[in-house]
Structure 1
Amino acid sequence: MKMRHMKALAIKFIFTAVVLYSLLTIFEAASLTEILLISLLVTGIAYLIGDLVILRRFSNLVATIADFGLAFAAIWLFSSFFIYAASPIVTVSAFSAFFLAISEALFHIYMNEKVFEKEDDRRDDLTFTKSRLQAEFSEEEDIDYIRKKKKRPE
C-alpha cells in the first residue's frame, strides 16, 4: 500500500474516532477500546467502498451521501453489537453519520487533490478524454491556397 493511502487512512481514522468518541461517550456507556474498534471498522469499510470506489467514479456529493448511509449502517450495526445501548442507538448513529458526512466532504477534497492526483495524471498522459478534445476551426491564410481556390471552376 502506498504512503499516500496510509496517510489518508490515518487522517480518516482520527476524525472518525474523534466524532465517535464525542458522541458515543455522551449518549452511551462505551469504553475507549470499543470506540476505537468501531472507528477502525467504520474507517476501513468507508475508505474501501466510499473513497476508493464511489469517489473515483462519481462526484464528491454522491460519495458524501453514500458515506453518510454507509457510516449510519456501520455505526448502528457495530454499536448494537459491541455496546449495551441505554439510549436509542439509531439516534446516536444518525448524529454520528451526519458529522462524519460533513468531515467526509472535506476529506474527499483532500483525496482528489493529494491521493488521486498523481495516479490520474499518469493515466491522462497516455489517454485522451472526451473533455480534452476540441475541433479546430480556422481560415486558411496561405495566399497560394486562396488563389488556387478562386481559379477552380465549380
Structure 2
Amino acid sequence: MKHIKALGIKFIVTSVILFSLLAIFETATLGEILLISALVTGINYIIGDLLILPRFNNFIATIADFALAFVGIWALSSMFIYPTTPIGIVSGFAAFFIAISEGLFHVYMKEKVLYKQYNHQEPFSVLNTHPQTEFSEEDNVDYIKKDYEDRD
C-alpha cells in the first residue's frame, strides 16, 4: 500500500509538470501526456527510487532521476508528439523540474516507504554492539577506612 501511495504522488507531480510544459510548448493531448507521465513515473520509480536511492544518497538518486526523466521524456515525446519546438529543450526543462521535486520525494521515500532499510543500517544489528552501562552504589571509602581504624 505504501508503494501505491508513493507511485500516486510521483505520478501526480510528474503529470502536472509534463502537462505544464508539453501542453504549452508542444501540441500534446491529455492522453499522450498521461501516457508519457505513467511510463516515466514507472521507470523512475523502479530504477531511481527502489534501486538507486537505498544504495546511494539523495543527491546521486536525484541526478539519476534527472537523466532517466530527460531520456524518457525525450524518447517518448519524439515518438508520440509532433514537435513544434526542439523537443530536447522541453525535455530538459521538464527533467529539471522533475528532479527538483524528486529531491523532496526522496525524503518522503526514506521516511515512509523505505524506513526499514534505513533504520537497520548497522552491519551487525543482530549482535548487541552497544555496551551496557551498569549503575551501582559506590561504597563510601571514608567509612570503610574509619571502620578499619576502629578495629586497631
TM-score band (shorter)?
0.7 to 0.9
Name segments (4+ residues, structure 1) moved above 4 Å: 132-136
> Aligned-pair distance for 1:126?
9.2
RMSD across aligned positions (CA): 2.4
Determine the structure 2 residue equivalent to 1:107: 105
Query: Where does residue 87 of structure 1 map in the other structure?
Result: 85
Instruction: State the TM-score, normalizing by the size of structure 1.
Output: 0.79
Provide TM-score, normalisation by structure 2: 0.80
Match of 2:33 in 1: 35
The structure with more helix, counted as a fraction of residues: 1
1:115-130 to structure 2, matched below 5 A, reads: 115-118=113-116, 120-121=118-119, 124=120, 128=124
Ranges in structure 1 where 5+ consecutive residues have no aligned partner: 137-141, 143-154
Identity, % of aligned pairs? 60
> Would the alpha carbon gap of residues 98 and 126 (structure 1) be closer, same or farther in structure 2, given more than 3 Å must change?
closer
Which protein shows a greater Rg? 2
- State which of 15, 18, 29 in structure 2 corresponds to 1:17: 15
2: CA distance, partners of 1:90 / 1:27: 12
Number of positions where the alignment pairs a residue of Structure 1 with one of Structure 2: 132
Give runs of aligned pairs for residues 38-53 of structure 1, distance below 5 A: 38-53=36-51
Which of residues 7, 24, 40 is equivalent to 1:26?
24
Q: Which runs of 5+ in 2 are unaligned?
A: 133-137, 139-152
Q: Deviations over 1:114-147 (max 9, x none)?
A: 00113554xx399526xx95789xxxxx9xxxxx
